[in-house]
Amino acid sequence: MTNKTYLILGANGFIGSHLVDSFARQDGVTVRAFDRFSNEPQFHDQQNVEVCKGDIFNEDDIQRALEGVDYVIHSFSATTPFTSDNNPFLDITDNVENSVKLFELCTKAGVKKIGFISSGGAVYGTAAEKGIVSESDAPFPVSPYGIGKLAIEHYLEYFKRKNGLDYIVYRLTNPYGPRQLMKKSQGVIPAFIHNIEQDEPITVYGDGTTTRDFIYIEDATKMIVDSFEKPNRHSVYNIGSGRETSLNQILDSLKVLIDHKDIEINYTDAPKTFLSKTQVSTDRYDNEFGKPVLTDLHEGLRKTIAE
C-alpha cells in the first residue's frame, strides 16, 4: 500500500491532538504532528506519528514540515472567540494573514489537498439564531473570530481557482471532550467542569437557555477522517450533532455526574457578540458520506470528566 503523509498543524491542541490520533489509525498513513510542543504531546504514542517541532509563524519551519507531504490539516488558531473579541487585530495578522502564507507554501510544495477546521457557530453568526443552519445559508458572523474563519475559507477558494489547490472546509461546532483546557476561553463545558470540581461559582451568560450544538471530539474527528480523502461534491461541510442543548441542560447533567454537588450559578448579561442559539444541519455530510453514529451527550460528558 502506498504510504501517504499528513501534516497536521496545531497538532498538540485540543482538536489537533485528536486529529492526530484519528488519522494515525488509518493504514498506510504517516502523520506529521506540527506544533511548538511547549508541553508533552497530548496525542497517543503511535509508530506512524512523527513529532515535528516548529513555529507556525516561521516560514522556514513550515517549509521544512511540508517536505514530502501529501495532505495538510489546518487546525491551528492563534485566538479563541473570547480573545479575538478583546483584540480583533490578532485574527487578521495571526490567523488570516498567516493562513494565506501557508496556502502559498502548500501550493509550492505540491500539496494535494488542504482540510481547514473552521467554526460552525462563529461563521454563521446571527443566521444560526434564526433556525437550523445549512451550508447553503448565507453566513453572517458578528465576531472577529468568525469573520476571520470565513475570510480564510474564501482565500482557500481563491487558491483553488488560481492554483488548483484542492481543499475541504469543516465548520466544526462546539466540540468537547478530553484534553480540552479547563479555561473559559476554551469552551463552556471545560469551564463548568473545572469550577464544579474546584467548588467555585459558575458564571453563565444570559439566563442559561442559550443553546449550542455540542459534539464529542472523537465523533467530530472521525467524521473528518471518514470524508477527507473521498471525492467531495461541495467545499464546505458542517460537523456537529444536529441537536440543540441549553447551558442549563449541561449544568443539570454535570450535577448528576460530579457527585451531585450543589453549584453556585451567577447569571450575567451576555456580550453583544454572544449568540443566543446555534444548531447546524449535517444533512449534506450525511447524504454524501453516510450518517455517523454519535456519542450521547451524557456519555460524552462522563468520558470527559473521567479522562
pLDDT tens track for 207-228: 999 999 999 999 999 999 999 9
Distance CA 97, CA 100 (A): 5
pLDDT at 93: 93
Regarding whether 162 and 251 lie in a shared domain, the answer is no
What percentage of residues in the chain have a pLDDT greater than 70?
A: 97
Give the separation between CA 7 and CA 289, rounded to whole angstroms. Answer: 23
Query: CATH number for the domain including 188?
Result: 3.90.25.10
Nearest C-alpha neighbor of 7 from the set 78, 79, 68, 94: 68
Domain assignment present for residue 286? The answer is no
The SS3 assignment for 165 reads coil
CA distance 171 to 153: 10
Cα gap 104→51, rounded to integer Å: 23
Q: Sorting pLDDT into bands at 50, 70 and 90, what band is 263?
A: confident
Grid-cell match 502506498, residue found: 2
Mean pLDDT, to the nearest integer, of 248-269?
88
Measured between alpha carbons, how far is 117 from 135 in angstroms, rounded to an integer?
15
290 found inside a domain: no
Whether residue 288 is contained in a domain is answered as: no
Residue 234 C-alpha cell reads as 461541495
In angstroms, the CA 3 to CA 227 distance is 18
The pLDDT tens digits for 281-292 are: 999 999 999 999
pLDDT of residue 64: 98
Q: Which domain holds residue 274?
A: 176-212+243-281+295-306
Domain identity same for 81 and 204 = no
Q: Are 79 and 15 in contact (CB under 8 A)?
A: no
Q: Kindly state whether residue 195 falls inside one of the protein's structural domains.
A: yes
Percent of the chain with pLDDT over 90: 81
Q: pLDDT averaged over the chain? A: 93
Contact (CB, 8 A) for 206 and 275: no
- Residue 39 in any domain: the answer is yes
pLDDT band at 260 (very low <50, low <70, confident <90, very high): low
Provide the pLDDT confidence category of residue 49 given band limits of 50, 70 and 90.
very high
Q: Is 45 found in the same domain as 158?
A: yes
Measured in residues, the chain has a length of: 307
> Is the same domain home to 144 and 201?
no
**233: domain CATH number?**
3.40.50.720
User: Average pLDDT of 238-263?
Assistant: 90
**pLDDT single digits (tens) 184-197:** 466 899 999 998 88
Looking at the structure, tell me whether residues 13 and 148 fall in a common domain: yes
Instruction: Mark whether 143 and 184 lie in a shared domain.
Output: no
Mean of pLDDT values over 203-209: 91
- The verdict on 151 and 248 lying in the same domain is no
- CA–CA gap between residue 32 and residue 30 (Å, rounded): 7
Q: What are phi and psi of 41, to 5 degrees?
A: -55, 135
Q: Is residue 262 part of a domain?
A: yes
pLDDT digits (tens, 9 = 90+) for 107-127: 999 999 999 999 998 999 999
CB 183 within 8 A of CB 194: yes
- Residue 5 has a pLDDT of 98
Give the residue among 31, 165, 19, 51 at the shortest CA–CA distance from 105: 165
Which string of DSSP letters, residue by residue, matches 68-121? Answer: T-SEEEE---S--HHHHHH-THHIIIIIIIHHHHHHHHHHHHT--EEEEEEEHH
Q: Are residues 112 and 230 in the same domain?
A: yes
Query: How confident is the model at residue 185, as a pLDDT?
Result: 61
Burial of residue 39 (number of CB atoms within 10 Å: 0-12, 13-18, 19+): exposed
Helices (H) and strands (E) in the chain, counts: 12, 13
Q: Residue 73: beta bridge partners?
A: 8, 115
pLDDT at 197: 87
User: Are 127 and 151 within one domain?
Assistant: yes
Domain count, the chain: 2
Split at pLDDT 50, 70, 90, the class of 85 is confident
Q: State the burial class of residue 220 (Cβ atoms within 10 Å of its Cβ: 0-12, 13-18, 19+).
A: buried
Q: Is residue 289 part of a domain?
A: no
Same domain, 121 and 228: yes
pLDDT at 293 over 90: yes
Residue-by-residue DSSP string for 217-273: HHHHHHHHHHHHTS--SSSEEEES-S--EEHHHHHHHHHHHTTT----EEEEPPPTT
Are 233 and 250 in a shared domain?
no
Does one domain contain both 109 and 248? no
Least confident of 9-18, 95-104, 250-259: 250-259
